[in-house]
Structure 1
């Protein structure tokens, strides 16, 4: 029971830390006078912290055990909230944000490893259910963040710094449950584990890397760019924009909570093709349809939500004795994709703005549309990678 509490609380905290940034980013951008390209670079550098954490977490898990690594990841996130609160300069803020992503990366790997060890039956259903708690917290995170930034205590307005302090200090709660949990799998001997060299030769895992990387770039970029897009392209206020982001994560959460059994019945790879394709179609339609079809930005969450937990379920089933290594390998390369993805989105916005007039409303609109189009393109590429993987596995009769 305490294992489940730790996993579910962990995903709730992860959702808060990852998706409170939507309403905060326009204000951070204003306070530090950043343009869209610099903003994309900031997000990419922080994704680099996530990538670095992913690369060493599995190693620490083998040395210290999953319990210690989980506690350390939550502690890093809580500490980053304190540093963000006191960040008066851009370098200190960047370093504090970087630390938060270190904690996020460690937590991502830790929860994935723990889920692979615990959910040995109905793997797709349970993976999606646990990740559904990430979707639930992500649904309310933008609204809570927007509300907290307006809170005034003794004449002091919390703003985005105080909001991050409050949100990230919630990491103390799963630390308590982790201390009372007994985590399985740490007793596995090193010789029983599948070596990394075996995975490097497996084309299936490389295709999974493609599916996950494109899918997660599409997923995470929404949290960073949707509010910015709606405020600047359509002139929406902060509450309406944050509400749309919350609607995205509501669709996201409900999909994981309700559609998990479908992945077990359909098969993991077919599910990935269907859901990533749906997300791509919704995103492109929302951009092409303008403000009247903006609700499709939220509907895209239904498809993109299923990619990460379904990939984790596939890995847990295909590599039962090497899931730690396989997850670390896959998620680390996914983190690299996130670094590149945010940089590309910011760069595309600036380039297209320059083509249509850097200082004109039309240039800003076309730039934002092109940048957000990269998000839809990533979902489409995830679909293509899934089709290639399905054909490969079908020919060898290895579909799961």
Structure 2
């Protein structure tokens, strides 16, 4: 089981380590600065931290020693429009990167490769561990981008990047609001893969329109990569054929709405969700926080509450704020109200790590403690 937990919060990157059966906070990095995402690259145990500094823009830092020291590295940037040149792209109004919303490591055969998804909905690639970045123009210039729009943010964004463990050239992306996209050639060409996703916020005739779907998060099973799960604005969806099609999971109590989803690294039929009330409310159903687990690809669910608050709760778990470690044994989640819980038994019971954190945007396990 992992020995390190990273919490990306509004006031810094908080590092926990496991000491025996207990987890203890050991450091806060970038104190006072909002951290939007943290990536642990298991290939070399590098940690990448993305900061969202508002007026000063996004920043990116890298640690090669488990957080003991950090180096500021290059940040993805959109190309500047030349003076007098008419920008005919679908995103002419989106002149700069507002936030790094997701990152993913490349395959074992791609040392140094890192992917980054941003708001606005752009994908970037680095082949030198973040020292430089290239915009993936093939996706940025697609005509369908004209129909993308923002979900929780004003602009569309790429929040999910799944690198196929069988073939590093195969990428699957999820976009709010822009559906699911597949590339089998390292990002040179792209194909929509949102067949079966359904939205209830568009006119009925566009309910199954692939280009305007709002997946909140997409995850892929490591050992069975044809199994993918989506927590969608409209519900829960699962694919067992590599996103060629999606099946809607219905009649999930107390709600099919949520932001977060985690899939077991060895079993694609097992996944965890945190249900809530959608749209303007965004809080637990009946103010009772719970974690839903399915072990049979959505045919049935078990609600886990042990160790979670019994009093009325206002906790919202953001899309990146539920994570499972590489062993498949430990889960962690943290909320917008500054609470953090950890489960050492696959979600059946939870222990509270803190009630006094800043709002948490993302959680991440690893690297292993030295």
State the TM-score, normalizing by the size of structure 1: 0.25
**Larger relative contact order, structure 1 or 2 (CA cutoff 8 Å, min sep 6):** 1
In terms of fraction of residues, the more strand-rich structure is 2
State the TM-score, normalizing by the size of structure 2: 0.27
